[in-house]
Amino acid sequence: MEPSKKSEQFIAADAGLRRFLGYRLKRAYNTLRSDMLVRLEPLGLRITTFSALLLIVHNPGLRQSALASALDIKTSNMVAIIDDLESRGWIKRKPVPTDRRALALFATAVGKSTCKKAEALAFENEETLLNNLTDAELNTLSTLLEKIESSAEKL
């Protein structure tokens, strides 16, 4: 099939950047990201709030600091995310008896059902945008991405 003129021009212009895997990673991520934003918007979720909600649902009692660390988000930036989820009635902060500094996070029933819907949207997102790839390719990709992440632990 003939590539469109737009594609040709596109490829010519950024060829110098396509040598870099970081550039390709960013563009591939943005492909998934922009579609995901559109899907989540009607639920009142963004990618960060969805990620936080999902981890709270899957890890009841998770502390804010542990959540921040898992998502690689500063605790100072976590506050607004938790505020958002709590103000929508999806999660609750509860004091931890054994450590009065800490707050444990629990999803409400509505939060759990919202999360379930969002997870379904996330699967749709990937089914739609990754349907070019076989299951074997997806597994390979996962493994290679994990390798990149783990290579940073040495730094």
Partner DNA sequence: TATTGTTATACTCTATAACTATA
Partner DNA sequence: TATAGTTATAGAGTATAACAATA
Q: Hey, which residues between 55 and 74 contact DNA (CB under 7 A)?
A: 63-66, 68, 73-74
Give the count of beta carbons closer than 10 Å to the beta carbon of residue 27. Answer: 12
Would strands 91-96 and 99-107 be described as parallel, antiparallel, or unpaired? Answer: antiparallel
Tell me, residue by residue from 72 to 101, as one string, x for binding to DNA by CB under 7 A and - for no binding.
-xxxxxxxxxxx---------x----xxxx
Min dist. Cβ of residue 127 to DNA (A):
22
DSSP label of 2: P
Among 8, 41, 58, 96, binds a copy of itself (CB under 8 A): 58
Determine, following the binding rule CB under 8 A, whether residue 12 of this chain makes contact with a copy of itself: yes
Nearest approach, Cβ of 13 to a copy of itself (angstroms)?
A: 4
How many angstroms separate the Cα of 90 from the Cα of each of 51, 72, 73, 94, 141?
13, 22, 20, 13, 33
Q: Which amino acid is at 73?
A: I
Q: Which residues bind DNA (CB under 7 A)?
A: 30, 34, 46-49, 63-66, 68, 73-83, 93, 98-104
